[in-house]
């Protein structure tokens, strides 16, 4: 019996000794492994594959980033919705007027049944961008804006190869005025071949559309000369051609602002729908505000070209 007890005690002591030795060996191994794990974790961080749970600051930063992305996406969606709503809300103006032919001095008149006011006049401004000497189109557009009026600016194309002139044209269009076609080079079209007539008209339409995004709806020939072939091209292009009822700013007696403003309002040619011709000139620019005011004092409103068929 004593022998059995002695053997049991010896076995227990052997187990305890072995356990202590194993624990000491494991602690030694832990010191080495800890360094290896640190290097491994650093490598995992550098490779973006660290699976350790981020601390609270990292979570907050990540949530903020996600919230910002969500807000940006929401703002973009709202902007798209506004754009779509704006596009849906915008409708081209319903035409109320039409341009009469030469037998009626190219007046603008109400379309039958439209109920539009007859006491209107149309302002048209020729020779914009014809040469470097004529630089008043933007000033005239500002004057029109200040007086809540509009006009057709008949543009020439000979300077529009310049980026600066294209920027001016773009700015003029963005001010809301109607851009018309006055040919590329202001030639008398009756002196040109059919091919040249087409080039003078279509090339300018292409340039204006490229710069402004819109193709001209109105055409005026230099000197009012409209050969039969020119009229055919204009019709193919879907434009309305017109000359004018009266104009004076090229005549010697009206090369200053005051007499020009007076004759434009007091002429016996003024009447319902009169198609008024003025030019991109300094003295005309200086007279424009008085012309608008004088016409309204006479009971005429300036028709918006957008309302013309």
User: One digit per residue, pLDDT tens: the chain, 309 residues?
Assistant: 434 333 343 343 343 344 444 444 333 434 433 333 333 333 333 333 333 333 434 434 444 444 455 555 555 555 454 444 433 333 446 899 999 999 999 999 999 999 999 999 999 999 988 887 778 999 999 999 999 999 999 999 999 999 999 999 999 999 999 999 999 999 999 999 999 999 999 999 999 999 999 999 999 999 999 999 999 999 999 999 999 999 999 999 999 999 999 999 999 999 999 999 999 999 999 999 999 999 999 999 999 999 999
Last residue of a domain, one of 49, 64, 89: 89
Residue recorded with tokens 């902007």: 79
Domain boundary among the residues 63, 89, 115 is at 89
- Same domain for 153 and 298? yes
CA distances from 172 to 91, 139, 145, 167 (A): 22, 10, 11, 9
Determine the Cα–Cα distance for residues 304 and 250; give it in Å rounded to an integer.
25
Do both 76 and 143 map to the same domain? no
C-beta separation of 245 from 303 below 8 A: no
E strand intervals along the chain: 97-99, 108-110, 120-128, 152-155, 178-181, 218-219, 240-241, 246-247, 275-279, 301-302
Residues 31 and 171 in one domain: no
Judgement on whether residues 174 and 110 belong to the same structural domain of the protein:
yes
Instruction: Give the helix/strand (H/E) hosting 157.
Output: none
**Is residue 46 domain-shared with residue 174, that is, in the same domain?**
no
- Structural domain of 56: 2-89
Domain boundary among 89, 123, 151: 89
Of residues 269, 251, 305, 248, the one with CA closest to residue 96? 305
Nearest CA-CA partner of 101 in 301, 273, 294: 273
Q: What is the DSSP letter of 273?
A: T
Residues 251 and 107 in one domain: yes
> Do both 157 and 301 map to the same domain?
yes
Give the chain's domain count.
2
Residue 109 β-bridge partners:
98
Same domain? 140 vs 284: yes
Shared domain for 154 and 187, answered yes or no, is yes
């Amino acid at each position: 019996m004593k022998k059995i007890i002695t053997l049991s005690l010896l076995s227990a002591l052997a187990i305890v000794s072995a356990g202590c030795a194993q624990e000491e060996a494991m602690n030694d191994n832990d010191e080495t492994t800890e360094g290896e794990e640190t290097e491994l974790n650093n490598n995992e961080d550098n490779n973006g594959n660290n699976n350790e749970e981020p601390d609270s600051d990292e979570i907050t930063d990540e949530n903020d980033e996600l919230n910002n992305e969500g807000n940006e996406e929401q703002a973009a969606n709202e902007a798209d919705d506004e754009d779509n709503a704006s596009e849906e809300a915008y409708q081209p103006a319903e035409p109320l007027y039409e341009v009469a032919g030469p037998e009626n001095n190219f007046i603008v008149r109400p379309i039958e049944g439209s109920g539009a006011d007859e006491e209107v006049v149309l302002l048209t401004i020729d020779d914009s961008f014809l040469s470097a000497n004529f630089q008043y189109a933007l000033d005239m557009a500002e004057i029109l804006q200040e007086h809540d009026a509009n006009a057709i600016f008949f543009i020439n194309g000979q300077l529009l190869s310049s980026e600066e002139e294209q920027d001016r044209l773009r700015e003029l269009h963005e001010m809301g005025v109607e851009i018309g076609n006055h040919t590329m080079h202001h030639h008398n079209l009756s002196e040109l071949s059919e091919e040249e007539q087409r080039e003078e008209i279509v090339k300018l339409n292409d340039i204006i559309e490229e710069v402004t995004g819109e193709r001209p709806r109105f055409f005026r020939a230099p000197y009012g000369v409209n050969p039969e072939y020119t009229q055919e091209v204009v019709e193919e292009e879907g434009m309305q051609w017109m000359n004018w009822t009266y104009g004076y700013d090229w005549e010697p007696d009206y090369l200053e602002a005051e007499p020009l403003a007076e004759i434009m309002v007091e002429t016996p040619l003024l009447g319902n729908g009169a198609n008024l011709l003025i030019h991109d000139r300094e003295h005309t620019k200086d007279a424009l505000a008085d012309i608008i005011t004088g016409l309204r004092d006479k009971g005429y409103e300036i028709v918006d070209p957008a309302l013309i068929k």
